Amino acid sequence: MIFVTGGAGFIGANFVLDWLAQSDEPVINFDKLTYAGNLNNLASLKGDARHIFVQGDINYGEKVAALLAQYQPRAILHFAAESHVDRSIHGPAAFVNTNINGTFSLLEASKVYWQNLPEPQKSAFRFLHVSTDEVYGTLSAEDPPFSETTAYAPNSPYSASKAASDHLVRAYHHTYGLPTLTTNCSNNYGGYHFPEKLIPLMITNARSGKDLPVYGDGMQVRDWLYVNDHCSAIRRVLEGGRIGETYNVGGWNEQSNLSVVHILCDLLDQLQPKANGSYRDQIKHVTDRPGHDRRYAIDARKIEKELGWKPTETFETGLRKTVAWYLANDEWVSQVQSGDYLKWVSLQYNKNAEVA
């Protein structure tokens, strides 16, 4: 079996669902269930003996160690993280606690567990750390995309905390021999995405008749990766990645934020048209966030060359699937939009605009 941290969050839950749709190998799903961890993401697995959920914090090394000893997983896949740049600006302590201290505690427990495994289980064991392209900093319009050898230059408390976790994983491989793998992905999108992030926020606000808040001029560029493509990349890295290596995972889909919002509005105009006008009429530019990185782009040639992986979705096909998912899952959206969430978006975007 495999041990997954953060498996009730957006990417982690999609990975668990995807894994069990293709394999009977059980999953131990260890998640703290913070605001972004949602068991409703895993409702389809209720009663499935292959999915063993345990609520807990990766900072509690003794609990992690006990679970590893009990279940004897062949791999640990580390998704658990605080991951929202805006929240890291308002409250960086949680990011240091989870992304740095939590990763350290998980590595310590994993190291001891791995060191005491008998052969051949010890040689077969893997620790796969899921990270972000934001550790590389920002690019100008003329710069080549991030590669695995790009120097780290994080610019937000979030990206700095993820950079630190990457360095810890690297250190545990080079110092102790822990068989690690690291993936650095671009911006994910798809179903079960917590609606404070750009794409789900725009979909839910558009359908509610509320403002579509776009930071600054909206010309910040990101590479967009459909979450199911990301899941397939992680499976491939776990299966065939070289120990100690890093693999960048991208969608080859660079888009400005404003372009993303325009495409979303056009899709909604097709799939759920308004009585009058276009969803584009709801776009409202708001004050840019501090230190907003201008461009990210991923060079994903290494994973394609070494492991034969490349994304199957274009941005257009993936985004159409994403919009269709939100249109079909109103109950999920309403459940995650709690009072705390409404307070958060009010704080973040515009003191005078009602966005939710």
The residues annotated with a catalytic role in the active site are: 133-134, 158
Q: What dihedral do alpha carbons 146, 151, 153, 157 form, nearest 10°? A: 90
Residue 131, phi then psi, degrees to nearest 5: -130, -165
Question: C-alpha distances in angstroms, 316 versus 40, 131, 186, 189, 329?
Answer: 27, 25, 16, 12, 20
Residue 110, phi then psi, degrees to nearest 5: -70, -40
Spatial CA neighbour of 86 closest among 77, 73, 95, 96? 95
Pairing of strands 2-5, 27-31: parallel
Question: C-alpha distances in angstroms, 104 versus 60, 127, 284?
Answer: 11, 13, 41
User: In angstroms, rounded to a whole number, what is the distance separating the alpha carbons of residues 77 and 134?
Assistant: 20
Residue 54, phi then psi, degrees to nearest 5: -130, 120
